[in-house]
Each structure stands twice: as C-alpha cells, then as structure tokens.
Amino acid sequence: MDDDDGRFNKKRKSPLRRLDLVLPELSYQIVGSLFEVSNELGAGHLERVYQRATAMALQERGIAFREQVRVPLQFSNTPVGWYQLDFLIEDAVVLELKQGERFKAANIKQVNAYLQSAQKPLAILANFCKEGVLFKRILNESAQSPHS
C-alpha cells in the first residue's frame, strides 16, 4: 500500500508516492514549513504571529507566495465582494491559517469558498494548537488539477 507520508521503502530507496494526489511535492514543502513554525514557536500565539513566521519559513525554503491576496467573489461576471486569502502559494495553493484547538465547519466552508472564487486546485487549512499543527488538504473538484 502506497502512502504519501514521506516514508522510504527500504528496498526501493525512494519515497513512496501516490499518483492521485494534487501537487504532492509542493504540499509536502508547505506542511514542512508549518511544522517548522509550530516546533519553534509552540502553542498559544496570535494568528498573525503564525502568519509572519510561516512567511519566513516559506521564504527560507524558496517557495514563491503572496500574502493577504484579495480574490473577487463574482455574480454574473461582476464582483460583488472580496475574499482575502492568508497565502497564495506558487499561484496554485491557498493556505489558510487558524489558531485554536480544532477545525470548525465554518473554516472548511470558508476555504471551499476561497477555492471556488480563486479557481485554484488545492487549499491547505492549518490549525496551530497545543498538539502542534493540524492540517487538512481541501480539493477544488471543479478546478483543473495539476498532479505534479
């Protein structure tokens, strides 16, 4: 059974990969940055502190990103509102940061709305909590999804 958890198969000497994952290498780098931030800062900080540290960690890894990206919400091809993404990474992945003990349904709905408006294939919802950092990969089923 193949897992995309970065484990190595001792016989093959190569990482195990699933072919059905969207942007697996970029996701791995993003999540690694999140764990780096969590391990160094620990729990209990404001969301904006985690945001600043995540930006630094992404930059250290050479990952292209933009912060606080405004994305229009449209009706009949006319903007009727705006969403603000915490991060847009390599113009492909929405990264939304939260601070608290668990994911809320409202957070998942929010990220799904961001994906639809931004027309990106993947979002990572990250929650910094006392256990470390928890994350969910959320797919936009209607977007063109690159698998590399």
The reported pLDDT for the residue numbered 22 is: 84
CB 122, CB 116: distance < 8 Å = no
Name the DSSP letter for residue 58: H
Locate all alpha helices (DSSP H) within 61-104, ordered by sequence.
none
The two tokens of residue 34 are 């999140």
Q: Where do the domains of the chain lie?
A: 21-139
Q: What pTM was estimated for this model as a whole?
A: 0.81
Question: Does an H or E element contain 134, and which?
Answer: strand 132-139
Q: pLDDT value at position 5?
A: 43
Helix axes 24-41, 47-60, angle to 10 degrees: 130
Q: Which CATH number fits domain 21-139: 1.10.10.10, 3.40.1710.10, 3.90.320.10, 3.40.50.1220?
A: 3.90.320.10
Q: Specify the residue for token string 């847009």.
A: 88
Q: pLDDT under 70 in the chain at which residues?
A: 1-20, 143-148
**What confidence score (pLDDT) does residue 98 get?**
95
